[in-house]
Every structure is written in C-alpha cells, then in structure tokens.
Amino acid sequence: MPRRARGGHEDPRTHARRPARFQLRFGRGSGKKEGLSPWGETTEDRRGTEMQPTYAAKVKTLDELVTAVRNVRRQGKRVVFTNGCFDLLHRGHVRYLDQAKALGDVLIVAINSDASVRALKGADRPVMSDGERAELVAALAAVDYVVIFEELDPGRVIQAVEPDVLVKGGDWQVDQVVGRQIVEGRGGRVMTLPYVEGASSSELLRRIRTGRG
C-alpha cells in the first residue's frame, strides 16, 4: 500500500493537477523538499529512490497531448480517440477500450472532470475523483494517453488532437457523436463499438447500494 504524503490527508483532486492537474506539491519548512506524485504518495521511498507509477506519464495536459500526438504522427501511427466519465471502471469499459485500441496504433482517452460529471449525471456523481479515474484508465495496457477535460463534451480536445479514428460506445448513433464533423472533415473515421449489456457504472452502483450481486 503506497505511503501517504507527510502532512496527513490526501486530496486526490488537488494532487491530480499539473499545472492544472499534475503540479508537484511540497512539504512545509526549509531544507530538502519532498515531492508528491499526482495521487498523493511520495516520489521517494525510504532509500531515496524515485517511486512513481510507471503509467503516470500517460496522463497529459492538453498541450502535452498535442505535442505527443504530433510526435507519433511523424512515425506514421494511427491515432484513435474516445471519451467518457469512466466512473467506477468495469468490464464493459475494459472490453471497449481494448477494441478501440485495435482500430489504430495509439489510443487517447479523454475523461470528464468532476464538475463535468456532476453536470451530466447528478450531484451524487462522480463516485471517484477525476484524478483517480485518470489513474485507473492510464493503468490499462490498451491506453496510451489520458487527458481530463472540463467541458460537458470533448469537442475542444478533438479539435486540438484531430484523431484519425473517433470511437464511442454502441449506445450512441454515429451522427450524434460529438466531433464527428471534425474527424470526417479531415478524412478520418467515426465508429461505434458494441455495448456490453448490463455493464455500466450506474448498474454497478445499483448493485452495490442494494447489496445484490
């Protein structure tokens, strides 16, 4: 279990920002400062060796993501983009992202911020903070980059990234997918993937609350 940062209570929302989401925080006082990872654990273990999740580098600010996409495009790689809340990761998410990655070489996942999720799903959501959700999605092997967006839809991110393939779940009609005109306008593809029946965060929450597996 990761050590908590000195100073007590962990605030995953604050730790998740650099510069807006991933800024390193430092302890008070003079002398050597102790860095914190985006999720609150120290970046050094007792021997002074840097300890940070290997997947932490996958989570980018939008500017960092645009630079990364530019670099992979120089290598001739095909960029796939999808988005969602990913609040309580489940098998439907995992299968969906695995299938999305198979459509190209690099998979980008844009995640709604906490404020965005609340506006879309109600005051009792999200269950997990955007920093926690970003960490879990980034840990999946199929995912190459994660970015958190504040708006209600990912249009601004899609405009900046210009993916080759835009993917949504099967509960969406292709002509309703946000960003479709942007992607198709530059010769890209917009697709939907099969929806896994019964696999949803809302259903998982219902089962937890009712005590029924």
How distant, in Å, are the alpha carbons of 16, 48, 208 from that of 42? 13, 10, 32
Asked whether residue 61 falls in the same domain as residue 164, the answer is yes
Q: What is the pLDDT of residues 101-129, one digit of tens each?
A: 999 999 999 999 999 999 998 998 899 99
Q: Is the pLDDT confidence value at 7 over 60?
A: no
Look at 13-17, 27-31, 77-81, 130-134 and tell me which has the smallest mean pLDDT.
Answer: 27-31
Asked whether residue 75 falls in the same domain as residue 12, the answer is no
Asked whether residue 28 falls in the same domain as residue 109, the answer is no
Is 211 inside a domain boundary? Answer: no
Identify the sign of the CA torsion 98, 102, 104, 105. Answer: positive
Q: What is the pLDDT of residues 198-209, one digit of tens each?
A: 656 666 666 666
Query: Structural domain tally of the chain?
Result: 2
How distant, in Å, are the alpha carbons of 101, 137, 149, 165, 201 from that of 97? 6, 9, 18, 13, 15
Mean residue pLDDT across the chain: 79
- Domain-ending residue, one of 27, 52, 77: 52
pLDDT score for 9: 42
Two tokens at 76? Answer: 């001739």
The alpha-carbon radius of gyration of the chain (Å, integer) is: 18
The boundaries of the domain holding residue 159 are: 57-206
Q: What is the pLDDT of residues 169-179, one digit of tens each?
A: 877 889 899 99
Q: What is the DSSP string of 89-158?
A: --HHHHHHHHHHHTTSSEEEEEEE-HHHHHHHH-TT--SS-HHHHHHHHHTSTT--EEEEE-SSSSHHHH
Place 195 in a pLDDT band, splitting at 50, 70 and 90.
confident
- CA 150/CA 128 separation, integer angstroms: 16
pLDDT score for 91: 86
Asked whether residue 121 falls in the same domain as residue 152, the answer is yes
Q: Is the pLDDT confidence value at 25 over 60?
A: no
Q: Is the pLDDT confidence value at 1 over 50?
A: no
For the chain, first and last CA: distance in Å? 27
Asked whether residue 85 falls in the same domain as residue 109, the answer is yes
pLDDT score for 145: 98
Percent of the chain with pLDDT over 90: 56
Q: Is the pLDDT confidence value at 27 over 50?
A: no
Three-state DSSP state, 65: helix
Q: What is the CATH number of the domain that holds 137?
A: 3.40.50.620
pLDDT score for 45: 44
